[in-house]
Structure 1
């Protein structure tokens, strides 16, 4: 981080959970779209696939009324092109185009005709391959959503008494750290940009668990910069905080890391 640039710290206890949910959902969607590609390849390479791999050549076959009957032409080659270019936003759009390809053939060609029979066979093959895969995808997406909801509900249901006790304990620890700082001349100097940068990164991680305590430290001298935005998040510019608050935050970080994972503290905040 270059000198003079501002680090804006987004403090939101729910943000990391939302990010994980989004990543898991996207991962499931990408896996399903890869499955769509595998299914399409099987259809195109099948015994009857050649009939549907390219747009219908109405001139070569003399099908003068084709576009009067088939309002939305589609073929597997076009489906593959759209899939490769990531045109499809979801598996359902892909499914609809594949089914449209075969349904067009069923509509234009009467029962008993060879193309009608081929379309019926491949449509059944497609449904047999796609439907179970999509059902599995839906189950996975539902699982991610349910886990996210359960987590959010559990956080909302945390007893307020436990929060109050934790706050009291935090205040007591902070008082002892402030007394310690008054006797430490190093804590009276200005914090360097690199120190602020490292501090901001560590606070970003700790905010998921210790949001209230971090805010308590900041508002002691900076009550005007902790107003939530429209999303309910609190934005803090580390560079905008006064030196005493910065050192208070660093001591808080040391306290938490020493208690839980002190070996990581040296990596992040030791100067």
Structure 2
């Protein structure tokens, strides 16, 4: 069984076309790949925090999270967004079950090294993949909201890209980031072009030069960390292009493939 962890960010989820979910269900029913969705929900979280007059800050693409922010993050991710994704899959004839990383201690977490600045932002220390395997055995697509928990019951806001990478590592799965652009773009002579393949070394240079910035930083770093820990392949594709997900799983040249230095030709 070949697993594919698919990460959909909140800004992308708001506008993903019906064709994306149709392709997802088609892929699932083919039995060639077993998809697991991990989603974000940043824009909706920010919007709700603003309406509640709660200040929100970001450090290197990660949301600073105190108790009040954490309650809102969990409510949005594990409630509104998670169930919307499940409904979208059911609407096109698929089966899906939504879970939080808290459920069954799916995402075991600890505070990030930068906890003094970030608050209740966590990093994943373990994945209870039996929770996912149970949903898959049921014939359903797991839809995961990235809230982690530790052994004392403390919740943590986990960056969705980091959560997706951790799940992919635990399952030995391929990892695919869904974007609203065709991949990582670079500008040369005023023209933006897509990188078909990019290495860890080049990514670090692009972060340093601020070509890669904001929310893309945890995405590419999660990708590199996954490759170091035996994720077979990481890709970034445009979920708004019809058949992009099918083309990716069929091995077609699509999006940006992220690789380690020694793999690049």
TM-score computed with the length of structure 2 as normaliser = 0.21
TM-score computed with the length of structure 1 as normaliser = 0.20
Question: Where is the helix percentage greater, Structure 1 or Structure 2?
Answer: 1
- Decide which structure has the larger Cα Rg and report it: 1
* Structure number with higher relative contact order (C-alpha < 8 Å, ≥ 6 residues apart): 1
